Amino acid sequence: MSFVNFEWSHALRGFVDTQDKLIAFTLTLIMGAMVIDFLTGTLAAKINPKIEFKSKEGINGVLRKISSIALLAFCIPLSILLPEGIGLGTLQVLYLGYLFFEMKSVLENFEKLGIDTALFKEFFEVLKKYLKDKGEK
């Protein structure tokens, strides 16, 4: 009986082995984070008595997220116009920044649900400090 050793890191590398795939993968992660953000925000508004649940705010949130995805997708052909891969690098930085903002919003929703997010907050603070220190050099 043979044992198949499957490592997730090797499987994920196939998704991001080119710059184009990396951008598409990151955009997919952003869309997934948006769905999670919407669901946790809706759940927090339903469960938390301090938050008034308004369908109008939910609809506006969905429209904002759809507009954001359209704008982020529109940036893909624009990034190709910049020379020597600068556009693709800039696009990836934009996407990663947007992904971090979505993740921060999900954590805020978790807090509204009463879930302890201290570990994740600490991670984001360390990351923010690292990026700030790196930017000053």
Q: How far is CA 30 from CA 14, 24, 83, 117, in A?
A: 19, 10, 26, 20
Q: Are 108 and 51 in contact (CB under 8 A)?
A: no
Length of the chain counted residue by residue: 137
Note the pLDDT tens digit of each residue in 48-100.
888 888 888 889 989 999 999 999 999 998 888 888 778 888 898 899 889 98
User: Is the pLDDT assigned to residue 10 strictly greater than 70?
Assistant: no
Residue closest to 92 by CA, chosen among 14, 19, 31, 4: 19
Question: Residue 8: which pLDDT band, with cuts at 50, 70 and 90?
Answer: low
Question: Residue 1: which pLDDT band, with cuts at 50, 70 and 90?
Answer: very low
> Residue range 104-111: average pLDDT?
92
* Per-domain boundaries in the chain: 13-136
